[in-house]
C-alpha cells in the first residue's frame, strides 16, 4: 500500500508499506530512515514513549485506540486531535493512501 509521510523537516515521502510483514507505522518510518535513529520507536513499540507520535492528515478510518495508546497520548507533548502512536498502527489494506505527519521530536 502507499503511504505519504511528512518527516520532521517537512519533507514529504511517498512510500510503499508492506501489508504482509506484520509491521507497524513506526517500523516503516524506521525502515525508510525517515527519522534519525534513536528519535523514534524508543520504547520498541510498547506505547510507552510517544516518540512515534504522528498526525493523521487523511480521513481514513483507522482502528480504535487501545487504552494504552490513549493513556500515553494523554501524557505526551504536542498532542493534537488527530494524534496517533505509529507503533500502534498495524499496516493493513485500510491504510492505503494514508497521509501522516511525524510529530516533533520533543514528546
Ligand atoms: Fe514508543 Fe510507539 S514506539 S510509543
Residue nearest to atom 4 of ligand 1 (CA): 47
Residues 93, 102: Cα–Cα separation, whole Å: 21
Would the pLDDT of 107 be above 70?
A: no
Q: Euclidean distance between the first and final Cα of the chain, in Å?
A: 28
What domains are defined for the chain?
Answer: 2-102 (3.10.20.30)
C-alpha cell of residue 92? 493493513
> Could you report the per-residue pLDDT of 68-97, keeping only the tens digit for each?
999 999 999 999 999 999 999 999 999 999
pLDDT tens sequence across 15-72: 999 999 999 999 999 999 999 999 999 999 999 999 999 999 999 999 999 999 999 9
> Of ligand 1's atoms, which has the minimum distance to the CA of residue 86?
2
Q: Is 45 near ligand 1, meaning CB less than 6 Å away?
A: yes
Closest atom, ligand 1, to C-alpha of 52:
2
* Mean pLDDT for all residues in the chain: 97
H-run or E-run covering 29: helix 25-31
Ligand 1 contact, 26 CB (< 6 A): yes
This complex has an ipTM of 0.99
Share of the chain above pLDDT 70, in %: 99
Amino acid at each position: 500500500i502507499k503511504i505519504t509521510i511528512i518527516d520532521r523537516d517537512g519533507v514529504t515521502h511517498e512510500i510503499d508499506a508492506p501489508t504482509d510483514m506484520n509491521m507497524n507505522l513506526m517500523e516503516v518510518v524506521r525502515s525508510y530512515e525517515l527519522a534519525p535513529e534513536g528519535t523514534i520507536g524508543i520504547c520498541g513499540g510498547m506505547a510507552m514513549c510517544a516518540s512515534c507520535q504522528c498526525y493523521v492528515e487523511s480521513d481514513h478510518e483507522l482502528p480504535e485506540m487501545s487504552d494504552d495508546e490513549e493513556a500515553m497520548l494523554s501524557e505526551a507533548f504536542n498532542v493534537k486531535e488527530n494524534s496517533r502512536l505509529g507503533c500502534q498502527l498495524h499496516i493493513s489494506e485500510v491504510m492505503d493512501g494514508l497521509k501522516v505527519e511525524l510529530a516533533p521530536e520533543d514528546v
